[in-house]
């Protein structure tokens, strides 16, 4: 399947906690849209997930749930390679090599590390610090051209480029393909329903802040009803109204309509209308996906088959890149 000259697109999501509407609109939907234009690699990064403590049963189950959700959302495992990071040992192996070409200074400047280490308190895992290096390995193993990610991950892609260029300078321009981030214009950043200045995050402790892809229709409606809006009553696309803006961008991401058109359709209407309509659109987007994901989640034999095939394909490609690195660096293989 790799014998084409399509560009290579790769992305991944952590299987910690339950995926949210933000993951669907910001990431998974874009993957689905592009899966036939590009040669695609999509995976669940469970090795990244253990940079903070995970319950073993939860982690295993969330990994299956993530894979079931990707398939239910429309990722076709015959077209795109779908796999789980821990089943492709080349990721951990390349990460070690890259660690030796990454600098303390540049990793210390990563905003996500600064945020997460603050939250982690005293005992910060070294893995949290080298997290972006494992991510660079994820990307560089597959000769990736494009990485669709949320805006918050752009810095990690830039680091990946820096490491790749640094090693290419040492070992030859054809060692690594230098990837580019692909940040979607709309839907890249769905905000928390309870604090619309923060990104909707599956690790947010407040369950009302996120719509989970497992939420029932009633729960979705309740969460949107309780969404924080702003003072005033006019529906405008305005930075001073982050709550309203968030609901408008959710609608825009679901329907594909420009925000300006949506705003115009609310002339003279109130926040309540906007919330009810947004809730219905979210229910329509999530319900079929949720039901299908629930069904697939029980089909362990099928999921294991998909993942086995995915891992085989991934290992074949990743193994070539890794062998090239060993050879250039002078490591016996
Ligand atoms: N760090 C990414 C996130 O938190 C997840 C991730 C890991 C990733 N490896 C990747 C994303 C490779 C894109 C490509 O969202």
Q: Could you give the CA distance from residue 102 to residue 104 in angstroms, rounded to a whole number?
A: 7
Q: Which residues contact residue 162 at a Cβ distance below 8 angstroms, ignoring those fewer than 6 apart? A: 106
Q: Are 151 and 189 in contact (CB under 8 A)?
A: yes
Q: How far apart (Å, rounded) are the C-alpha atoms in residues 140 and 178? A: 8
317 lines ligand 1 (CB under 6 A): no
Ligand 1 touching residue 202 (CB < 6 A): no
Based on the fold, state whether residues 266 and 314 are members of the same structural domain: no
The domain tally of the chain equals: 2
| Within a domain: 311 | yes
The angle subtended at Cα 304 by Cα 302 and Cα 306, nearest 5°, is 70
Q: Which of 34, 153, 163, 188 to mutate to test the pocket of ligand 1 (most atoms within 8 A of CB)?
A: 153
The verdict on residue 3 lying in a domain is no
Q: Is 14 in the pocket of ligand 1 (CB under 6 A)?
A: yes
For a pocket test of ligand 1, which of 24, 50, 138 has the largest count of ligand atoms closer than 8 A to its C-beta?
Answer: 138
What order do you get walking across the sheet with 39-44 strand by strand? 81-84, 39-44, 8-13, 146-148, 180-182
Same domain membership, residue 304 and residue 245:
no
Domain assignment present for residue 161? The answer is: yes
> What is the DSSP secondary-structure string of 278-298?
HHHHHHHHHHHHHHHHHHHHH
Q: Are residues 312 and 261 in the same domain?
A: no
The protein residue whose alpha carbon is closest to atom 8 in ligand 1 is 12
- 65 plus 161 within the same structural domain: yes
Q: For residue 200, give every residue at least 6 positions away whose Cβ sits within 8 Å of its Cβ, in sequence order, or none.
A: 20, 21, 22, 190, 191, 192, 193, 209, 210, 211
What is the predicted pLDDT for the residue at 116? Answer: 87
Q: How far apart are CA 243 and CA 226, in angstroms?
A: 11
If asked whether residues 40 and 19 sit together in one domain, one would say: yes
**199 is a domain residue:** no
Tell me, yes or no, whether 235 and 94 share the same domain: no
Residues 90 and 228 in one domain: no
Angle, CA of 45, 50 and 54, to the nearest 5°: 115
Tokens of 43: 């995976």
Instruction: Tell me whether residue 155 is in a domain.
Output: yes
Q: Clarify whether residues 260 and 305 are in a common domain.
A: no
The three-class DSSP label of residue 147 is strand
The ligand 1 atom at the shortest distance from the C-alpha of residue 45 is: 7
> Can you give the three-state secondary structure of 77-120, one letter per residue?
CCCCEEEEHHHCCHHHHHHHHHHCCCCHHHHHCCHHHHHHHHHH
Distance CA 319, CA 202 (A): 32
Active site residues: 116, 199, 202
Do both 290 and 304 map to the same domain?
no
Q: Is 134 in the pocket of ligand 1 (CB under 6 A)?
A: no
Find the Cα–Cα–Cα–Cα dihedral 53, 83, 303, 253, rounded to 10°: 80
Same domain, residue pair 315 and 290: no
What is the model's pLDDT at position 152?
86
Q: For residue 27, what is the domain's CATH number?
A: 3.40.50.620
Same domain, 172 and 251: no
Which residue shows structure tokens 């359709």?
Answer: 265
Is any ligand 1 atom within 6 A of the Cβ of residue 199?
Answer: no
pLDDT given for residue 232 in this prediction: 87
Q: Which domain holds residue 17?
A: 8-183+300-329
313 lines ligand 1 (CB under 6 A): no
CATH of the domain at 248: 1.10.240.10
Say if 62 falls within a structural domain. yes
Q: What is the pLDDT of residue 1?
A: 44
Asked if residue 45 belongs to a domain, the reply is yes
Which residues of the chain fall short of a pLDDT of 50? 1-2
Q: Which residue CA neighbors atom 9 of ligand 1 most closely? A: 135
Same domain assignment for residues 255 and 115 = no
**Is 24 within the bounds of a domain?**
yes
């Amino acid at each position: 399947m790799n014998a084409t000259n399509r560009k290579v697109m790769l992305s991944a999501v952590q299987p910690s906690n339950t995926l949210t509407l933000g993951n669907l609109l910001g990431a998974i939907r874009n993957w689905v849209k592009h899966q036939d234009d590009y040669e695609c690699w999509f995976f669940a990064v469970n090795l990244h997930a253990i940079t903070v403590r995970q319950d073993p049963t939860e982690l295993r189950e969330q990994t299956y749930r993530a894979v079931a959700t990707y398939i239910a959302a429309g990722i076709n495992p015959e077209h795109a390679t779908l796999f789980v990071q821990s089943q492709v040992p080349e990721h951990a192996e390349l990460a070690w090599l890259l660690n030796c070409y990454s600098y303390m200074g540049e990793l210390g400047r990563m905003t996500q590390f600064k945020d997460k280490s603050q939250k982690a308190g005293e005992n910060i895992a070294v893995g949290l610090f080298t997290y972006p290096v494992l991510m660079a390995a994820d990307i560089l193993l597959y000769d990736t051209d494009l990485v669709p990610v949320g805006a918050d991950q752009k810095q990690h892609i830039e680091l990946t480029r820096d490491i790749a260029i640094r090693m290419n300078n040492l070992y030859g321009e054809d060692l690594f393909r230098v990837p580019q981030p692909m940040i979607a214009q709309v839907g890249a950043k769905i905000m928390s329903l309870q604090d619309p200045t923060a990104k909707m995050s599956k690790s947010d402790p407040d369950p009302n802040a996120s719509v989970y892809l497992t939420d029932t229709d009633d729960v979705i409606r309740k969460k949107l009803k309780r969404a924080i809006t702003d003072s005033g009553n006019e529906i405008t696309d305005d930075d001073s109204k982050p709550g309203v803006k968030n609901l408008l961008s959710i609608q825009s991401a679901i329907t594909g309509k420009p925000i300006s058109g949506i705003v115009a359709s609310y002339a003279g209407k109130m926040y309540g209308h906007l919330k009810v309509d947004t809730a219905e659109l979210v229910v329509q987007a999530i319900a079929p996906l949720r039901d299908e994901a629930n069904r697939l989640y029980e089909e362990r034999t099928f999921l294991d088959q998909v993942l086995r095939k995915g891992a085989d394909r991934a290992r074949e490609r990743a193994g070539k890149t890794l062998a090239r690195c060993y050879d250039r660096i002078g490591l016996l293989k």
